[in-house]
Amino acid sequence: MPRFCANLTTLFTEAPLLERPAQAAAAGFAGAEIALPHDADTAALQRALDTAGLPLALVTCPPPDPAGLAAVPGQEARFRAVFERSLRTMDALGAQRLRVMSGVAEGPEAAGVFADNLAWAAEAAQGRQLTIAPVNPADRPGDFLDDFSVALALLDEIGAPNLGLQFDAYHAHRITGDVPGTWAAVAPWVRHVRVAGVPGRHEPAGGAVDYPAFFARLDADGYDGWVGADYHPREATQDGLDWLPN
């Protein structure tokens, strides 16, 4: 069975952030993600994660723009300053991966900016792992990275061993309508997985994606990375955890 980590930005929000690692561990999660830990007390947050026994699988590099900046022409210097700040946060928390978000942009100039920024980021982050993640245009209008083929082309072009793909099954379904087929096409590049229910981005149970079959497919294919629970609970987080395998 895959290793599941809880996104503490969206789950257990009934409690303050520093209490969420303990709640996630008690619920059966083996790790954590935190999308935006950059303004938190990193020392206190690291202690809370350590006490709960949860490694931090992933943080994100978007501030100050929550959509990201990496593909936005004219924002190269701003992106690089933000990225360096994100690396400091990543290191302070011992995070295993950093997701780089493209931002709202389009066209050949944006493609070149994104490729240049990712190549620079991969070099700047030597010894650390980075991911990029396609998102669907219905939920994130105008985001540059809205297709898996674009992501794979970038990864091939840059060729950095510490830059891989984040596979969000919710977004994959919204982009292609075929989670198993998309997974089969991109699995060699995947370094992190996320799950959420379709529609609504609620618990990954029922709905349009057969998650038990998807988890079995991950096992069959030998995927040994994290599977991040990144969804918005319908009610209290604890009340919707029946989907989480023992």
Angle between helices 179-186 and 211-220 (to 10 degrees): 20
pLDDT for 64 equals: 58
pLDDT for 39 equals: 78
- Cβ contacts of 153 within 8 Å, gap of 6 or more: none
Decide if 41 is inside a domain: yes
pLDDT for 9 equals: 95
Decide if 244 is inside a domain: no
Please give the residue range of the domain that contains residue 225: 3-238
Among residues 117, 34, 36, the alpha carbon closest in space to that of 69 is found at 117
Decide if 228 is inside a domain: yes
Decide if 246 is inside a domain: no
Decide if 245 is inside a domain: no
pLDDT for 73 equals: 97
Residue numbers in the chain where pLDDT is lower than 50: none
CA distances from 93 to 48, 109, 154, 229 (A): 11, 34, 28, 19
- 34-61 confidence digits (pLDDT tens): 987 877 899 999 999 999 999 999 999 8
pLDDT for 38 equals: 75
Decide if 68 is inside a domain: yes
The predicted model scores a pTM of 0.96
- 107-117 confidence digits (pLDDT tens): 999 999 999 99
Total domains present in the chain: 1
> Do 10 and 197 touch, CB atoms closer than 8 A?
no
pLDDT for 148 equals: 98
Alpha-carbon torsion, ordered 119, 176, 215, 118, to 10 deg: 10
The CATH number linked to 50 is: 3.20.20.150
Residues in the chain, how many? 246
Structure-token match 């303004």, residue found = 39
Across all residues in the chain, what is the average pLDDT? 95
pLDDT for 65 equals: 67
